Amino acid sequence: MVLFSKSFIPTIREQPKLAECRSHALCLKASLLSMISSGVYSYLPLGLRVLRKVENIIRKHMDREGAIELLMSVLQPLEIWKKTGRDESLKEIMVRFRDRRNRELCLGPTHEEEITEIVKKYVSSYKQLPIILYQIQHKFRDEIRPRYGLIRSCEFIMKDAYSFDVDEQGLNISYTKMLEAYKGIFEECGLDFVVVEAEVGFMGGSESHEFMVPAEIGEDILFYCSKCGKYFKEKKMCPICKNELEEKRMIEVGHIFKLGTKYSSAQQAYFLDPQGRRQFFIMGCYGIGVSRLIPAIIEQNSDEKGIIWPERVSGFDVEIIILDVENPLLFKEGISLGEALNKENLEVLVDERKESPGVKFNDAYLIGTPFLIILGKEYLSTKMIEVEERKGGRKFRFSKQEAVNFLKKKYEDELL
Amino acid sequence: MVLFSKSFIPTIREQPKLAECRSHALCLKASLLSMISSGVYSYLPLGLRVLRKVENIIRKHMDREGAIELLMSVLQPLEIWKKTGRDESLKEIMVRFRDRRNRELCLGPTHEEEITEIVKKYVSSYKQLPIILYQIQHKFRDEIRPRYGLIRSCEFIMKDAYSFDVDEQGLNISYTKMLEAYKGIFEECGLDFVVVEAEVGFMGGSESHEFMVPAEIGEDILFYCSKCGKYFKEKKMCPICKNELEEKRMIEVGHIFKLGTKYSSAQQAYFLDPQGRRQFFIMGCYGIGVSRLIPAIIEQNSDEKGIIWPERVSGFDVEIIILDVENPLLFKEGISLGEALNKENLEVLVDERKESPGVKFNDAYLIGTPFLIILGKEYLSTKMIEVEERKGGRKFRFSKQEAVNFLKKKYEDELL
């Protein structure tokens, strides 16, 4: 349970001058982020809570598919990039420097080369395969035009996973696992998203899917058939109903690739098959823009008052507003209700500040906790609690126990 | 519950050639770390589990003292460093570069300047004070001589906390809170440590304490009176008993400073006091070398067979060795015992590999899980389970339920 007066949630009332779009403005106003420099942000406590929620949803779905988490270095020697030639093809966006010992280092914009070196070192036999490794980590891009806050920033957080298989059939299985995990992740994040076949680009490989979130500020374009409800990569007529297609802007939140042996052959990474023959690892790679998910979720889940967090990604599950904190009985009831909810593993924010109801409601709607409990004087006479759902604004009147049960049920993990 | 055969714990049998000390060798052999380049390491899954344990111990003790977690940017504009002059004084160890937009950026070796900018932006009144903010984050140092693995590396993880108070009295309270939190953290990490008054050095300020862990490979030196059992900074006679002092090598794992107004005055960061007058924030800063704690713990907790993890920082709480995995009944019992322990929130590793008992015992002692359960054929007749404590090698014989209760009790959080 967090008391608002003991927290650091410094919301901003005015529209931030630098805000480039709705989600950017809301990230700044709701004090999720503080801008340090163009394209560089710090996560304030509320933003960090949301980030952790998103990360843990990803972990849950990755682990469920048997993927194993590690944490690779940010610094990478440039020599491993020379093996695949990507020291040249990614040159522009790569932050690189020479250290005092004259080593050429870079800040990893991605980790195919490094994971291939690691697996080459430790995996020598088909018996150790298949394996899927992943990490959640800070990445860096020398963006010439950072924008929209965390949508396109110089420093960001990625989930990158890598699969190693003995053959194409194995890769297909790993790839399908990741595809399913991704659907689960984006669903649990409360996103409306589409999956489309995509080109392999600078990653190389044979097959690729993108996970796209429709949003006005999207930088990718798809074409939509309003009749069939389907998305396409190219602007032709709808291949199903021959209807004309509309242009739709999309935010890319995930991208998965069948890489084959592109990296393993360039880096001489092989295992011994049952016949003792050397075979290059058959690889796949699977990325999610973790930090980018936050603005993507906000773009789809907000109104004029603020953010409307989907239940699983909100920094808090429930906010209790104590309207009259000078009333010691009401104050005590508010804290006790918070503790009761906390006991059920709900994360509770209690607004017990000496502020006007207007300020408290404004902040509550702005930071967008899915459920709001309002405790006013009438609670003391009626013992009935008002629960307001942020999304849609539905209001419920409950006894204390009913309120606890209602909210407990909303966050039961079995639901997902 | 993790099955060894489905995990990625690629232990190494041979002594690693590059290992510079006992903890470095054990980090590599037990597959906690993989060396990417000199001073640059990736955390393999077992190392990441240990890291997360240490991080969460730190979080628990920080949160308990009311400190609030955020996550600042790694990239920092050099201009904020120019305000305090530390762009010059920390020049050598700071990784800095110009980006494509010709901005001067650095990878933060520490965050006093950035946190001061953040607090300056959001905190304007004494009513919002005191506040302690902290983060657990990757930091970078251009080390000319990286060594001993994570003891002195170019990329490392720090917990850095910053307190902001209205006056010296407030600072004293915040400082004492952090001092106490630190004692709790290092105790829970299973470290033998000492706290000594220290010099303020390049941080500036008025008072400072270091947390030191005695270890052969330590790079700091203290002087020890074997009669009084006390440590001193200077090599004089013991001021208490006049005994001669011995030189002791120490690893610095934590350092806390009363900074006063050094940063707030340089960065013009002030709040309004009750009389409406501008006052500079009175600051303190509090660091823990999170990644360095791992080798520090290993230096103090190992034997010729491997690591002996203190209970709270081990990647797993219990390891179950199934000796004869070809026996389906024994295999089933092993998995079911693992599930029973898992239900009690214990983290269990089950070694169900088709390997010889020798290989399994070697690995178990090497990776150093505090409790080992050995399931052999005699279990099927006697139904008695052998539990071996890694530290000291004590063996217990329990029924299944007794074993679960015994281990559950060992990890009950109420103990700490």
Q: Per residue of chain B (416 residues), what is the pLDDT tens digit?
A: 999 999 999 999 999 988 989 999 999 999 999 999 999 999 999 999 999 999 999 999 999 999 999 999 999 999 999 999 999 999 999 999 999 999 999 999 999 999 999 999 999 999 999 999 999 999 999 999 999 999 999 999 999 999 999 999 999 999 999 999 999 999 999 999 999 988 767 666 789 999 999 999 999 999 999 998 889 888 888 888 999 999 999 999 999 999 999 999 999 999 999 999 999 999 999 999 999 999 999 999 999 999 999 999 999 999 999 999 999 999 999 999 999 999 999 999 999 999 999 999 999 999 999 999 999 988 999 999 999 999 999 999 999 999 999 999 999 865 54
Q: Is residue B309 part of a domain?
A: no
Domain presence at residue A372:
yes
Contacts of A143 (CB under 8 A, 6+ apart): A39, A93, A152, A153, A154, B100
- Same domain membership, residue A357 and residue A299: no
What confidence score (pLDDT) does residue A203 get?
67
pTM, two decimals, is 0.97
Is residue B281 in a domain?
yes
A61: three-class secondary structure by DSSP: helix
CB-closest option in A42, A107, A144 to B101? A144
- Which B residues, 20 through 79, put their C-beta within 8 Å of a C-beta on chain A? 31, 34, 36-38, 40-45, 47-48, 51, 66, 68-77
Count of domains for chain B? 2
Last residue of a domain, one of A303, A325, A341: A303
Mutation to test the A interface, candidates B1, B5, B37, most A Cβ within 10 Å: B37
**Domain residue limits at B380:** 316-415
Q: Is the pLDDT of residue A415 over 70?
A: no
Locate B307 and state its tokens.
């690591």
Residues A43 and A148 in one domain: yes
Q: Report the complex ipTM.
A: 0.96
Q: How close A105 gets to chain B, by Cα (Å)?
A: 10
Residues 90-149 of A with CB under 8 A from B: 92, 95-97, 99-101, 103, 105, 107, 114, 117-118, 121-123, 128, 131, 133, 138, 140, 142-144
Using CB atoms, pick whichever of A8, A36, A47 lies closest to residue B114: A36
* CB spacing of B155 vs A71 below 8 angstroms: no
Q: Is residue A3 less than 8 Å (CB to CB) from chain B?
A: no
Do residues B294 and B405 share a domain?
no
Same domain, B298 and B165: yes
CB contact under 8 Å between B92 and A100, yes or no, is yes
Cβ distance of B73 and A40 shorter than 8 Å: yes
**A331 falls within a domain:** yes
- In the listed set B276, B303, B330, which residue is the last one of a domain according to the structure? B303
Chain A partners of B121 at a C-beta cutoff of 8 Å? 34
Alpha-carbon gap, residue B83 to B268, rounded angstroms: 9
Question: For position B407, what pLDDT does the model report?
Answer: 96
Residues A265, A379 within the same domain: no
B287 and B344: one domain? no
- CATH no. for residue B353? 3.40.50.800
Asked if A31's CB is within 8 angstroms of B122's CB, the reply is: yes
How does residue A235 score in pLDDT terms, banded at 50, 70 and 90? confident
- Using the beta-carbon criterion (under 8 Å), do B73 and A122 form an inter-chain contact? no
Q: Closest Cα of chain A to B373: distance in Å?
A: 24
Contacts of B153 (CB under 8 A, 6+ apart): B39, B40, B41, B143, B146, B291
The verdict on A344 and A295 lying in the same domain is no
Higher pLDDT, B199 or A39: A39
Based on the fold, state whether residues B170 and B99 are members of the same structural domain: yes
